[in-house]
Structure 1
Amino acid sequence: MYKPIEIDREKLTIMGVQFPDRETLENIASSIGSCMFEGFEPSKKTVEIIRDYVTDKITLTQVIE
């Protein structure tokens, strides 16, 4: 069942995870939302990992690990 997640567009956060800009936040929120309709249940940690990957703080290899 789909369960909404907390998105604060003024503070640029998803589930309390800070994003560098609104465009990145919106893109990731949209991607997470699409995945949630397929059964993905995000946690704060998975949101952090996605943010770090998209902003080039970690590599795909690190994501997989």
Structure 2
Amino acid sequence: MPDIDLLRGQVVPAVRDTPELAAELSELLRERPAVQAGGARSVAVGGDNSGIISTDEGATNTLHQ
């Protein structure tokens, strides 16, 4: 497990002193929506879903196109 304070002490000054790095990190973070699912049979979708999401073992899934 990384030492978060040590990492923060290195990353924060680098981002503050390097506008290109700050812009790149900002773009990367913007591209990835934050999602979180917790508990049995939970689902998290970080964007669009165009398929079936089924969390029940006994479910009958039918796709109509």
Report if TM-score (shorter chain) is over 0.5: no
Which structure is higher in strand share? 1
TM-score, with length taken from structure 2: 0.29
Q: Give the helix-richer structure, 1 or 2.
A: 1
Q: State TM-score, norm by structure 1.
A: 0.29
- Higher relative CO (CA 8 A, sep ≥ 6), structure 1 or 2? 1
